[in-house]
Amino acid sequence: MIRGVTASPVTVLAGGVGGARFLQGVIDVVPPDRVVVIGNVGDDVEPHGLHVSPDLDTVLYTLTGWIDETQGWGVRGDTDRALERARELGADAWFWLGDLDIGLHLARTEALRRGEPLSAVTARLAERLGLPLRLIPATDDRLRTMIDTPDGEIEFQTYYVRHHHADRVTGIRFDGAELARPAPGVIEALRDAAAIVVAPSNPLISIAPILAVPDVRMLLASRSAPCVAVSPIVGGRALRGPAADMLESLGHEASPAGVAAIYAGLIDVLVIDERDADLAERVEAHGIRPVVADTIMRDAASRERLARAALDAAGAIA
Ligand code: FO1
């Protein structure tokens, strides 16, 4: 049994904003000490030598109440005096970092430089900030999402933030993935899970980097627990971010049927939105049971309802 987990865990694969908001609903439905989150590190970045893990931090800040709700990332009410000063002194500061957020990156970077693995640093930051669930990076090894564009390959945050995800995406590669091993706790979280849930995160850039760790994919494919995913595509559009354009430019369909095709063989159930109910049969054609629900997370009540629908479909709640 995993330390601190009182019963078989509910294991959630999650990216950034959508994943974090979904998790708020999950912990309204199951006790947080039963929840283990496997987080994406593919969009980690090192601006000014600081190690930033945006997706891990979005989960951390969202579930500890520090999140800037409006933008979905960063610290509520944060100032940017450090970054402003850096700019005045000639730094190329295109990645916005708030002052309080920088404090977290200083602590993380210092620990990593001492040789501590990312999973251990993340556990300590989570404990200090009072995160109620267990958050584990998919891997402690270096794994970076690289985006292929007509002008060449660029790092994920260069594509996403610096270029405002305006480039046409012609390919995605997870640098380092072949040799990446699951971080401590990841294997147990998948092997011993009562249920596995794939959060409504971008399948290509939030979930795929987690699945790119060979042992994670292998464990998911051979799991005994039911696995349920929630479609982040509703009515042909992503609720947030470039998922729909990205799916299309890479030859997938920007619909729950396209999401089902990507997850085929890995999940048992796909929760799709009411307005996509007519696509249920096409989801089923991939050997995946469709469950129709209201998937729009407007507020705490709708987040809880969606989490309940997913966990119910996974048989994780009575
Ligand atoms: N997103 C932006 O659009 N612009 C930024 O300058 C930016 C800075 C940033 C700093 C820390 C952090 O944890 C997240 C940050 N994000 C920023 C969000 C983040 O880059 C993306 O939302 C995710 O990587 C996509 O999942």
Give the integer Cα–Cα distance in Å for 281 and 300.
Answer: 30
The answer, yes or no, to whether any atom of ligand 1 lies below 6 A from the CB of 140, is no
Ligand 1 centroid distance, CA of 158 (Å): 11
Residues of the chain with pLDDT under 70: 1-6, 318
Q: How many residues does the chain have?
A: 318
> What tokens does 147 get?
């985006």
pLDDT tens, position by position, 109-160 = 999 999 999 999 999 999 999 999 999 999 999 999 999 999 999 999 999 9
pTM for this prediction: 0.96
Mutation test residue for ligand 1: of 71, 96, 109, the one with most atoms within 8 Å of CB: 96
Which of 93, 43, 48 minimizes the C-alpha distance to 73?
A: 43
Residue-level pLDDT at 241: 85
Measuring from atom 4 of ligand 1, which residue has the nearest CA?
Answer: 161
The residue to which tokens 């430019």 are assigned: 249
Share of the chain above pLDDT 90, in %: 93
Instruction: Answer yes or no: are the C-beta atoms of 213 and 139 closer than 8 Å.
Output: yes
